[in-house]
Amino acid sequence: MTRQRRVILETLRESNAHPSADEVYELVRRKLSRISLGTVYRNLDILAELGEIQKIALSGSLNRFDGETRKHYHIRCINCDRLDDAPMGTLEDIEEGIGGATRYKIIGHRLEFMGLCPECLDIATDRW
């Protein structure tokens, strides 16, 4: 693994903010000032393919990256686009049930929660 790739991986593992590729670039640039945006994009894709990180595809928003590779769900603020982990277990038994009922081989599912984060909710409440 190249030094650049290792720094990108460390940056993602340290953060719980689920950054976009551009945000990863901003963070990594503090440590490797000469890294290019293209290098960051390329390494993020490679790390995701290697299973070292997760690429999170969200409906109607930029892809985000997660240093936590265990399966988990996310909750997204529709106002500021903040993304947090949703505190719940995964729904493997539902996959099995649907597979059994439809005879599909289920390979995965997507579940995304949306709402207003605590900060945006405070602002919204102040305004009323």
Nearer CB in complex with Zn ion: 13/42: 13
DSSP 8-state class, residue 20: B
What's the closest the beta carbon of residue 70 comes to Zn ion, in angstroms? Answer: 9
CA–CA gap between residue 54 and residue 60 (Å, rounded): 18
Tell me the closest approach of the beta carbon of residue 3 to Zn ion, in angstroms.
25
Pick 21 or 32: Cβ nearer Zn ion: 21
Task: Give the contact letters, 48-87, x = binds to Zn ion (CB under 5 A), - = no.
Answer: ------------------x----------x-xx-x--x--
DSSP 8-state assignment for residue 63: -
**What mask, x for binding Zn ion by CB under 5 A, covers residues 104 to 123?**
-------------x--x---
Cα–Cα distance for residue pair 77/115, rounded to 1 Å: 5
DSSP 68-118: --S--EEEEETTT--EEEE-S---HHHHHHHHHHH---------EEEE--H
Residue ranges that bind Zn ion, judged by CB under 5 A: 66, 77, 79-80, 82, 85, 117, 120
